[in-house]
Structure 1
Amino acid sequence: MADETPPVDEMLYEQLAQDALRGVIRSALERAALPAGIPGAHHFYVTFKTRAPGVSVPPDIMAKYPDEMTVVLQHQYWDLTVEATRFSVMLKFGGMPKVLSMPYTAVTRFYDPSVQFLLQFEAPATIEEIAVEIAAMPPAEVEPLGGDDAPKVVSLDQFRKK
């Protein structure tokens, strides 16, 4: 009986599907950014990892929400800017305007309760988690540039969540 090696998904279909679903978030936010705003009774609860790479949150908000936070986009939001890989929005916290900016990869949940539409995503690795994993790695012996050997390359695949 021959050993059968399971097939390897070299197309990375799971990642392609996650990227496509994040495109749904981008499209919904693009509609919300139009002058008419969010149509009808729709409104969005967007949950994201505050320490995910690329997230920009004011320090006082970060202190209050050190891991994850949910923002509501309904009636009072300003300067919603939607880009290909990220978005930013101004919200008021305690009456003070604050700008939050994040890549779609930091979003863990997108929910529109008006139609019970929910998207959930695997949490991205935080900067701290990546740093801990790197610190735990044995030091690599890298030859100085100009040596006979080619430079060493470290694969980041081991840090990706599966």
Structure 2
Amino acid sequence: MMRSIDYGNLMHRAMRGLIIEVLRQVEEGGLPGEHHFFITFDTRHPDAALADWLKQRYPEEMTVVMQHWFDNLHVDDEGFAVTLNFGDQPEPLYIPFDAIRTFVDPSVEFGLRFEAPADDDEDEEEDDDGGDDDPAPSSDRQDAEIVRLDRWRK
């Protein structure tokens, strides 16, 4: 017998499913129109794969942009692989869906934010070079919420 409905976990799975569907559409047909993505992820996730120099530069989290140039996008049930350009240097990445903290498409003012249960201070802003100092979540369960888009507005 179910004692309560775990809305946070249900929302997390629904939002993850949305990201999977969007990335699979992009994998098959490319980015339509002005769509582009800012994806912030936890570089400490055990299944995240990125070059050592990127891990050193972004020891906790980094934001990548999928817009004008990306290659080799492949989406599986656990995450996605993509090659991105870092200063004219192509670098392959693997980003597990459980490592994603934010997924934003500013062209249509759409954004999702995933927070670990320990991240209670909603008003605390992350800096551009790594974010907060909290350790990686100890479980796969994360709460979900809509992200504020004014962070990416110019």
4+ runs of 1 displaced by more than 6 Å?
Answer: none
Give the CA deviation at 1:123: 4.2
| CA shift in 2, pair 1:124/1:94, >3 Å | farther
- The alignment covers a number of residue pairs equal to 127
Structure 2 counterpart of 1:26, from 20, 25, 32: 20
Structure 2 unpaired stretches of 5+:
119-133, 144-154
Give the aligned residue type for 2:30: G
Q: How does 1:109-120 map to 2 (within 5 A)?
A: 109-120=102-113
Of all paired residues, the percent bearing the same amino acid is 40
Higher relative contact order (CA 8 A, sep 6+): 2
RMSD: 2.7
**CA distance in 2 between partners of 1:124 and 1:63 (Å):** 26
TM-score, normalised by the number of residues in structure 2: 0.72
Give the CA deviation at 1:19: 1.0
Matched, 1:41 2:13: no
Q: In structure 2, what is the equivalent of residue 72 of structure 1?
A: 65
**CA distance in 2 between partners of 1:113 and 1:160 (Å):** 27
Give the CA deviation at 1:160: 5.8
Give the CA deviation at 1:13: 3.1
The structure with the largest strand share of the pair is 2
- Larger of the two Rg values belongs to structure: 1
TM-score, normalised by the number of residues in structure 1: 0.69
